[in-house]
Amino acid sequence: MASKLKNNSKAMKSAKKEKKSSKEEKRIISRPILEGSEDMPSILEESSKAMKYAKKEKKSSKKEKKILKEEMISTDQEIAPKLQLLEDDENADSGSEEEFDVERKARALDIEKAQQEEEAEAELQMNIQERHDDFMLPTPEELEESSQKPPNLPAIFQRIKDIVRVLSDFKALRQEGVPRKDYVTQLAQDLSTYFGYNDFFVEMILQMFPAAEALEFFEANETPRPVVLRTNTLKARRRDLAGVLINRGVNLDPLGKWSKVGLVVYESQVPVGATPEYMAGHYMLQSASSFLPVMALAPQEKETVVDIAAAPGGKTTYLAALMKNTGIIFANEFKEKRMKSLSANLHRMGVTNTIVCNYDGRELPKVLGTNRVDRVLLDAPCSGTGVVSKDQSVKVSKSDVDIQNCATLQKELILAAIDMVDAFSKTGGYIVYSTCSITVAENEAVIDYALRKRNVKVVPCGLEFGRPGFIRFREKRFHTSLAETRRFYPHAHNLDGFFVAKLKKLNNDKALASDKGNSEDVDSVITIEPSLPELNTASNSPTDEKSVQELEDMIKSPSENVSTKKKKFFRKDLKNLPSKEEISKLREDKREALRKESKRKLSSDFTSSHVEAINAGEAKKKKHKKE
């Protein structure tokens, strides 16, 4: 190949020289004509001969170039771009400078690359057009056949994208006679197969997001979130810390405008968890989403703050830094094994205003007292559906039962958190609830439950970004103030899936079922005390008497008919039910009456038995005397 290229270049050089000589001859011949020489005929004859000779030479050079072109095409297709160079040389000016071989080769490579890109783009457009026109759902026979073979992942992923495209414009792209449900069912199966999730998880995500966004969510969970450092402002400044780490070979940038202490690490020549600065407590390795609940709580200096689930200490140390080591922080952790990491991080970061304790969070109001603290942070234990990129086992290990169990625990914890806060605190009275889950049952449903059970309201979190929480989800409807809560997603914000809500306590009284209009609480009150109908007998209205009679019948009736009679009663006369305070008062009166009755019986029994004993003794004495 190299020898042929050399020969070709030599031939081109000789052709150029011949071209130059012919032009020089023309110039020499034309000079005497312009000067008006006397030997005009002889000069014209010579010039015509020279012109003929030049034409012949030109033809021969063109033939040589043609032959060269044919040889280059036939030898190898990779040299095809060189033809462009030959054409450029032929059309170029004879006075232009001769190009170097390296330049020619570079130009040839550029031309070849451009051709390949054009061909690839044309092929891609053709494939897209074919798929756009011809996509059809697989038949049951095809699915059964493919299930008996190893999964073809590229084909499955392509089918996922095609179904997502169809669902985005269903009316225009749908297959005739195929309902939307079939597309969604096939999409769920393919997502489960391709990304490795169980059916419950895939169905939940498809209910929360449109198909295109659900695909983005699943893809985002396959890549880890960036490594983030939080500067410990008790010991260092972010600018100084960044300079030191850059000198150690760490490539980093500020996290974003929303954080003044975060640094995101792109790559590092040293382990960022083992530098002298880390050991000295100048920074904490912490996910960016963990900054958000602390920023929302915004603790002030000299306040009393409780962190209910504190380990491993990232949020607690951030709280201490914002409070500048003043006030008091109660860092509680239920699992004893995690206490070591919590206390170690507190010591390393130089925190001195924190008391570490090991209690069940639901029992903390009994330990610390109710209505005593200024602010509470509850980063509740959850299912972890927002941190799949960290823990891939979540894909298959979670079910609806797990979600409901977590939600029950979270409801108990948030009520305990609210009970500890003093509503009349001069600077506080706030509760922040957060989870690393994206399920509605663990987030909006828990906050809505707290609004119904306690005198609290939702207030803005103070975070500049994030999506608002749901106020309606499928058949569920939540309080409209839940739009002030914030959701964060890996595909939208490049953060772990997270939920943050901020509550303000309005009153130290526990919220009332009657104020909230919750019929479930009324139902529970009635079923707890079977003798409640007797309490309303003081009312003289016929409606009340009838309602009481129905309740008495309901209590005496068999258990299988209780539910139907209950429903009939509530539909008929819900407004005439006693309030919660009246029920509790009457219940206490009844208990007091029972206590008095039992005392009276005991005293009467005692006296009667005592009299009998005395009489028996006297009878024995009389008998003994007679004997």
The per-residue DSSP string of 446-514 comes to HHHHHHHHEEEEEE----SSSEEPPSEETTEE--GGGGGSEEE-HHHHSS--EEEEEEEEEEEEEP-HH
CB atoms within 10 A of CB 81: 19
**Does 243 belong to an annotated binding site?**
no
Angle of helix 211-220 versus helix 199-208 axis, rounded to 10 = 130
User: Containing H/E element for 330?
Assistant: strand 328-332
Q: Are 264 and 494 in contact (CB under 8 A)?
A: no
Q: Cα separation of 471 and 481, whole Å?
A: 8
Beta bridge partners of 355: 330
Q: Are 318 and 291 in contact (CB under 8 A)?
A: yes
Cβ neighbourhood burial of 32 (10 Å; 0-12, 13-18, 19+) = middle
Active-site residue identified among 382, 406, 436, 461? 436
User: Containing H/E element for 268?
Assistant: strand 262-268
The vertex-581 CA angle with 540 and 420, nearest 5°, equals 170
Q: Are 490 and 497 in contact (CB under 8 A)?
A: yes
* Amino acid sitting at position 293: P
**Does 369 belong to an annotated binding site?**
no
Q: Cα separation of 300 and 326, whole Å?
A: 9
Task: Residue 531: name the closest of 577, 589, 587, 594 by CA.
Answer: 587
**Does 313 belong to an annotated binding site?**
yes
**Does 310 belong to an annotated binding site?**
yes
Task: Residue 503: name the closest of 461, 551, 546 by CA.
Answer: 461
CB atoms within 10 A of CB 20: 12
**Does 242 belong to an annotated binding site?**
no
Q: Are 490 and 496 in contact (CB under 8 A)?
A: yes
Can you list the alpha helix ranges (DSSP code H) found in 139-198? 140-147, 153-168, 170-173, 180-195
For residue 516, what are its two tokens?
Answer: 């909230």
Task: Residue 473: name the closest of 252, 229, 275, 208 by CA.
Answer: 208
Active site residue 357: no
C-alpha dist (Å) from residue 72 to 3, 100, 115, 116, 190: 12, 19, 18, 20, 51
**Does 312 belong to an annotated binding site?**
yes
Q: Are 360 and 335 in contact (CB under 8 A)?
A: no
Q: Are 13 and 66 in contact (CB under 8 A)?
A: no
Q: Are 297 and 430 in contact (CB under 8 A)?
A: yes
Q: Cα separation of 498 and 463, whole Å?
A: 13
* Amino acid sitting at position 251: N
Query: CB neighbours of 582 closer than 8 A, spacing ≥ 6?
Result: 535
In the annotated binding site for S-adenosyl-L-methionine, the residues are: 309-315, 333, 360, 379
In the annotated binding site, the residues are 309-315, 333, 360, 379
Any idea which residues carry the catalytic annotation?
436
